[in-house]
Amino acid sequence: MKIEFKKIPQDKKEFSTSLNSVKIEGTFCRISSSLVKIEANLIGNIETDCSRCGTLKTLDINEELKLLLCDGVFKGDEDEFLVIEIENSLIDFDEIIQSEVNSIKSDYLLCGNCETNDSLFEQEF
């Protein structure tokens, strides 16, 4: 889903959009002429590789997303929200989902087998 920046309402509005097996569900609102706030959850499942043995694993995700979309260059400090600068005044939710999925995939993650081996290993010492 793509949506023009100026079409985001100033009042909080519920939205939901999905890409493949992952969806974003929550609210968005425009808090200034160049800032949109998104409070949502990233829900679904993604396939990723075990960091140790490479086995494909399906991961159920349900992560809180707090995003601040800035139309142009963001000038300011923000701790609570993740700031994403967008171009052409167009918000591309597919791209946002994709980048969140990629960042989850790049995390260190063990499959069930390796996790079990890990705890066995710890018990021996």
Cβ of residue 60: shortest distance to Zn ion, in angstroms? 17
* Dist CA 91 CA 66 (whole Å): 15
To Zn ion, the closest distance from the beta carbon of 48 in angstroms equals: 11
In the complex, what is the shortest distance from the CB of residue 107 to Zn ion, in angstroms, rounded to a whole number? 14
Does 3 contact Zn ion by CB under 5 A?
no
CA pair distance 77, 29, nearest whole angstrom? 19
Q: How far is the CB of 123 from Zn ion (least distance, A)?
A: 18
Q: Which of residues 5-64 bind Zn ion (CB under 5 A)?
A: 50, 52-53, 55
Q: Is 7 exposed, middle or buried (0-12, 13-18, 19+ CB in 10 A)?
A: exposed
CB of 56 or CB of 73, closer to Zn ion: 56
Distance CA 1, CA 5 (A): 13
Burial of 51 (0-12, 13-18, 19+ CB in 10 A): middle
Kindly state whether residue 111 participates in binding Zn ion, applying the rule CB under 5 A.
Answer: yes
* Per CB under 5 A, 114 contacts Zn ion: yes
Contact residues toward Zn ion (CB under 5 A) are 50, 52-53, 55, 111, 114
